[in-house]
Amino acid sequence: MVREATNTLQKSVLWDWLTTVDHKKLAVLYLISGTLFFLKAGLMAVFMRIQLMFPMNDFLSGQTFNEFITMHGTIMLFLAATPLLFAFMNYIVPLQIGARDVAFPFVNALGFWLFFFGGILVSLSWFFGGAPDAGWTSYVPLASRDYGGLGIDFYVLGLQVSGIGTLVSGINFIVTIINMRAPGMTMMRMPLFCWTTLVTSILIVFAFTPLAAGLALLMLDRMFDGMFFIPGEGGNVVIWQHIFWIFGHPEVYILVLPAFGMISEIIPTFSKKRLFGYTAMVFATLIIGFLGFMVWMHHMFTVGIGPIANSVFAIATMIIGIPTGIKIFNWLFTMWGGKLTFNTAMLCASSFVPTFVLGGVTGVMLAMAPVDHLYHDTYFVVAHFHYIILGGIVLGLIGATFYWYPKMFGHKLNETLGKIMFWMFYVGFHLTFFVQHILGLIGMPRRVYTYLEDQGMDTMNMISTIGAFVMSAAIILLVVNIVYSAMKSPREGGDPWDGRTLEWATPTPVPEYNFAQTPQVRSLDPLFYEKIHGDGTMKPAEPIGDIHMPNGSIYPFTISLGLFFAGFGFIMLNMENAIISPWIVIAVGGIITFGSMALHSVKEDHGYHISKETVEQMEKEVGTNG
């Protein structure tokens, strides 16, 4: 995965992975843990569909069903989609901008471990009396201390910890993209994936902090008897909804913008054409990012905010359709007249377009405040956001996996298995969710664990469940493909797709310093430019010399572990028979975290150098088998 120089090779494997600050290795860690959370939450979805297969089914109890809907949503958004996107952002963005690493390698590692321990904390809830059960939105008063069980505490503290991780990663990406670009890589020459990563990171900074505040309020309410959300003492439950959706709506764009970026990389490569309307794409991304903060109240049309507010937010919501439409047409025009290659990555990318449009159409339908009173909390909404999330984000992620897999792991995924997987996924997805539009329109409420027979819902629920089985089979096939390809696929060189952007100018496996000499960028799609106007290789912007690299560190791991203990300690405050005093656990966690931070701050670490001779030696090896 990464070609190491001498220093890293001397460490044991476990210690190396625990202390790594290499963006490529952290990407692999993100990919693995994100996939595991994805499989876990996907399994919950299958169980829920089995429960809804027949009317009055008793496969799951109502309580378990509630825990499953909550954990499915929470895990998929915070612990599966986000890290999977971060995996590609981490691996690809520094390569695409011609950087040796991210701006803050230490913070990058910290972001991963915080996410990881936060995810573990949320998942521990199953072993302490049940998972959170108030939905992924965790509305009060359902989640208040009087009604919500211990599971909600795990939700609050776990997401708090993993949210800090997401926030610091976002800051890191912003600074990386602004400060670390190679000479000649101006902002308007950056690949679109870098642009969407930048805008997503900005959204993270402004969206995850309100979430942190909201979760802190809920924590104070639940553990220290705060009165924020207790109406009897002057509190207000709608404040939670506002705070949650001020975070929650941008979160949708945080997830979908990187997927847009992935599609915008895959389609030009396999159309053998420059991305159509690059500038328009960039500005559409910026506008979507901005408007993403202006529409949160469309999740609350039925709360009773009043006709003026509802109208303003309805119109703002519909306006987002315009920049999104620009993107859709630009992808279509990129393909128009191109030399198209329909491999698995391109199949995912091109089918993303119509699927996402379907989700967008139902989105505009939902944006109409008066009619929304009919759709609200029905399966129509469920169908809508699954078209966005599965048809948008997951198709983008699968496409990106097939596209960047040879760069990350040195070989392609099998195309035959890939195409079968794609068609099963595509058919299964539409089978599952298309009928849910109709189910919603005839009145099936979401989040309810069963339904009566002979209300016209039996057949469509059965179809939906069958679709879910087909989709699961597709995901299993993807896992099979990964194992199969690891054994059978031939090794690939640095540029297996005849790529256009800088990541394909690096050898595979990528040396730990990425570029022996920082490349000089002369155009948008820099590698393709050199293939047409130069000799096909990037021109160096600096002479070959010693390369400065950051040292690995265990502190990101210990800082996160400390917060994990402290978070668990806070949860113990609400446990009835805790073995030791919660305050001891909180104190131990705090000492570990702040102690590690202080040690890191006090110890000056200037990193190490890879000598010029080693670099030349490594480049020679790369040349012979690359």
Instruction: Write out the residues near other proteins by the rule CB under 8 A.
Output: 103-104, 107, 167, 171-172, 174-175, 178-180, 205-206, 208-210, 212-214, 216-217, 220-221, 224-228, 230, 232-236, 239, 242-243, 246, 548, 598, 601-602, 604, 606
CB of 299: closest distance to other proteins in angstroms?
17
Q: Which is nearer to other proteins, 272 or 548 (CB)?
A: 548
Q: How far apart are CA 202 and CA 461, in angstroms?
A: 40
Calculate the alpha carbon distances from 624 to 411, 494, 519, 617 in Å.
17, 12, 21, 11
Q: Which is nearer to other proteins, 182 or 421 (CB)?
A: 182
The answer to whether 211 and 265 are in contact (CB under 8 A) is no
CB of 201: closest distance to other proteins in angstroms?
9
Sequence-ordered list of residues with C-beta below 8 angstroms from that of 261, at least 6 positions apart, any chain:
191, 192, 193, 194, 195, 196, 197
Two tokens, residue 217: 């309020």
Residue 487 Cα to chain centre, angstroms: 28
CB of 222: closest distance to other proteins in angstroms?
12
Q: Which is nearer to other proteins, 107 or 444 (CB)?
A: 107
CB of 242: closest distance to other proteins in angstroms?
8
The answer to whether 28 and 537 are in contact (CB under 8 A) is no
Q: How far apart are CA 373 and CA 482, in angstroms?
A: 45
Q: Which is nearer to other proteins, 13 or 602 (CB)?
A: 602
Calculate the alpha carbon distances from 276 to 199, 313, 360, 461 in Å.
20, 31, 21, 41
In 216-249, which positions are buried (b, 16+ CB within 10 angstroms) versus exposed (e)?
Answer: ebbbebbbeebebbbeeeebebeebbbbbbbbbb
Q: Which is nearer to other proteins, 604 or 613 (CB)?
A: 604
Diameter over CA atoms, the chain? 77
Asked if the bond preceding 509 is cis, omega within 30° of 0, the reply is yes
CB of 100: closest distance to other proteins in angstroms?
11
CB of 441: closest distance to other proteins in angstroms?
36
CB of 132: closest distance to other proteins in angstroms?
22
CB of 23: closest distance to other proteins in angstroms?
14
Map tokens 């939905």 to a residue: 135
C-alpha angle 613-615-619 in degrees, rounded to nearest 5 = 120
Q: Which is nearer to other proteins, 209 or 520 (CB)?
A: 209
CB of 209: closest distance to other proteins in angstroms?
4
Taken in order 185, 187, 191, 194, the sign of the CA dihedral is positive
Sequence-ordered list of residues with C-beta below 8 angstroms from that of 64, at least 6 positions apart, any chain:
none
The answer to whether 404 and 92 are in contact (CB under 8 A) is yes
Map tokens 């790369």 to a residue: 622
Q: How far apart are CA 378 and CA 294, in angstroms?
A: 24
Q: Which is nearer to other proteins, 180 or 466 (CB)?
A: 180
The answer to whether 230 and 176 are in contact (CB under 8 A) is no
Q: Which is nearer to other proteins, 171 or 448 (CB)?
A: 171
Q: Which is nearer to other proteins, 54 or 206 (CB)?
A: 206
Two tokens, residue 467: 């679709």
The answer to whether 296 and 248 are in contact (CB under 8 A) is yes
Q: Which is nearer to other proteins, 143 or 167 (CB)?
A: 167
CB of 188: closest distance to other proteins in angstroms?
20
Q: Which is nearer to other proteins, 148 or 428 (CB)?
A: 148
CB of 371: closest distance to other proteins in angstroms?
29
* Beta bridge partner(s), residue 511: 3
Q: Which is nearer to other proteins, 220 or 357 (CB)?
A: 220
Residue 20 Cα to chain centre, angstroms: 21
CB of 383: closest distance to other proteins in angstroms?
32
